[in-house]
Amino acid sequence: MGITSMATAIHPETGKLGFLLDVPFPSAREATIALRSLSPDREPRRGGINKHLSVSESTLSVRWSADEARILRVSVNSFLDHLSLIVETMDLFAPPVDL
Binding site for other proteins (CB under 8 A): 33-34, 36-42, 44, 78, 81-82, 85-86, 88-90, 92-95, 99
- How far apart are CB 2 and other proteins at their closest, in Å? 19
- How far apart are CB 13 and other proteins at their closest, in Å? 32
For residues 11 and 36, which CB has a smaller minimum distance to other proteins in the complex?
36
For residues 33 and 49, which CB has a smaller minimum distance to other proteins in the complex?
33
- How far apart are CB 19 and other proteins at their closest, in Å? 20
Q: What is the largest CA-CA distance in the chain?
A: 50
**Integer Cα distance of 57 and 49 in angstroms:** 26
Q: Are 96 and 90 in contact (CB under 8 A)?
A: no
**Integer Cα distance of 86 and 45 in angstroms:** 23
For residues 9 and 26, which CB has a smaller minimum distance to other proteins in the complex?
26
φ, ψ for residue 98 (rounded to 5)? -65, 140
